[in-house]
Amino acid sequence: MFKNVFGSGFLVRTAHVVLTWVITLILFLHDTDLRRREETGDLAQPVLFVSLVLASVLLYFAVSLMDPGFVLSDEGDAQFTLGVAEEQQDMIPRSSKPPRQRRCGHCLLQQPMRSKHCQTCQHCVRRYDHHCPWIENCVGERNHRWFVMYLAVQLIVLLWGLHMAWSGFAYASTWQLWLRTNGVLLGATLVLGLLCLTVLLLLGSHLYLVSLNTTTWEFMSRHRISYLKHCGMDENPFDRGTLRNLWDFFCVWGTVVWEQVYFRESSDPI
């Protein structure tokens, strides 16, 4: 279920963790609100902040090392339906139309619908979203919800850290003295601001796509995807409404046989 932590991506993961704790240390070493509360014995906010930082790091490793849904064998999708939750059964309408599968030209395995071969991971990934260099892993069926949860926690930590950094700037009579006094904190603030903007855009785009029950790959490349290129621009055969899409994504566990969702009785095969 998890990859080797010392395998591919070790340097990226190490850099992420080191940067996280270095910035956290800077916020506590300077005269920020966190430092002042700690010195007065009010430990509630410092402990909560460090706990959220730790949670973000743990979620990062979970998403980074988790199997995103690699297709490892040619076994049929029938085995996956056994693990589908009861709430998900109505997502798989009965149909007499045979599901279509194509064989991957790289790993030579049958690709379930919505899967794609990742050249970096060298595997096909079920409900492929994208390969993320930040986590050095694919985002797919098994870790996509955890990736979104990680982004949400990370955004809270970054916004809180940005607020704390702003509270720590000290007054100085000249710009030169101000830069010498606040230079390190200013650098940390700029990094926090850049990361905040990046994570905010990522989280917003993923929540939008999840609400439509589509993936980044499908959204960007629908004109080249066999099961979507003949659909209209506003047509998505997997869309079940915003609330249901969000509920299924976050609250329903198990593997969906997307071929059976796609080939509905009321639809004509494409």
Tell me which residues are annotated as active site: 132
Give ∠ CA 54-57-59 in degrees, rounded to 5: 110
Q: Which of 189, 90, 192, 199 is nearest to 148 (CA)?
A: 199
Return the bridge partners of 102, or none.
111
99: its two tokens: 């599901």
Burial of 207 (0-12, 13-18, 19+ CB in 10 A): middle
* Residue given tokens 């439509």 in the structure block: 212
Which contiguous run of DSSP H or E holds residue 118? strand 116-118
Which contiguous run of DSSP H or E holds residue 266? none
Which contiguous run of DSSP H or E holds residue 109? none
Q: Which residues contact 225 (CB under 8 A, 6 or more apart)?
A: 217, 218
Count of CB atoms within 10 A of residue 202's CB? 17
Which of the 8 DSSP states describes residue 75? -
Q: Would you put residue 122 in left (φ > 0), alpha (ψ -120 to 50) or beta?
A: left
Strand order in the sheet with 123-125: 70-71, 123-125, 116-118
